[in-house]
């Protein structure tokens, strides 16, 4: 039984790393596990996460809420998940570690970002867990329109979150 008031949380199996990153970008708490099927199934049960897999055997394990993904293309996979449980864009999470993001000032971001980014950007977000810093980049518009297509939206979704991505690989020292 699904409760539409509860934001779905996911666990993606080892084959679905790219999908997991996209779901985090959409704002969904998504674990990515390369552990054995037993451990993945256990985690899904104990943390009440929806299991995402293309593996019928794993999907058939007992006591799981599963979305058995049929498309191989990850944009189509996003569309299938959206059709199943509804995943409108929320405030993005860290694509790397699934941690929550918080706004930080230019001053705080400055030591950790390239000079040309500091000169041209004002809105920064930092992962509270791994320290990765995000900012709006030209890549972001491309990502938004791809997500909009995958979700079947006419227009690129606006997260209203003030979070803007693309980011370098910069981490807190």
Residues making contact with Zn ion (CB under 5 A): 94, 96-97, 99, 127, 129-130, 132
Q: How far is the CB of 44 from Zn ion (least distance, A)?
A: 22
DSSP 96-140: TT--BEEEE-HHHHGGGS-HHHHHH---EEEETTT--EEEB-HHH
Q: How far is the CB of 72 from Zn ion (least distance, A)?
A: 27
Q: How far is the CB of 101 from Zn ion (least distance, A)?
A: 8
Which residue, 64 or 127, is less far from Zn ion as judged by CB? 127
Q: Given the DSSP bridges, would you call strands 124-127 and 133-135 parallel, antiparallel or unpaired?
A: antiparallel
Q: How far is the CB of 92 from Zn ion (least distance, A)?
A: 11
Which residue, 76 or 130, is less far from Zn ion as judged by CB? 130
Which residue, 85 or 97, is less far from Zn ion as judged by CB? 97
Which residue, 83 or 130, is less far from Zn ion as judged by CB? 130
Cα separation, 145 vs 56, whole angstroms: 31
Q: Given the DSSP bridges, would you call strands 30-32 and 10-12 parallel, antiparallel or unpaired?
A: parallel
């Amino acid at each position: 039984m699904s409760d539409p008031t509860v934001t779905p949380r996911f666990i993606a199996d080892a084959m679905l790393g790219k999908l997991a990153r996209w779901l985090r970008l959409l704002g969904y708490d998504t674990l990515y596990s390369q552990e054995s099927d037993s451990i993945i199934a256990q985690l899904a049960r104990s943390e009440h996460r929806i299991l995402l897999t293309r593996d019928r055997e794993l999907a058939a394990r007992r006591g799981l809420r599963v979305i058995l993904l049929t498309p191989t293309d990850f944009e189509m996979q996003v569309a299938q998940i959206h059709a199943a449980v509804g995943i409108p864009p929320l405030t993005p999470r860290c694509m790397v570690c699934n941690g929550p993001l918080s706004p930080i000032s230019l001053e705080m971001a400055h030591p950790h970002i390239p000079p040309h980014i500091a000169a041209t950007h004002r809105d920064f977000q930092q992962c509270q867990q791994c320290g990765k810093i995000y900012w709006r980049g030209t890549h972001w518009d491309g990502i938004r329109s791809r997500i909009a297509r995958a979700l079947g939206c006419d227009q690129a979704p606006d997260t209203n979150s003030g979070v803007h991505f693309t980011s370098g690989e910069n981490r807190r020292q």
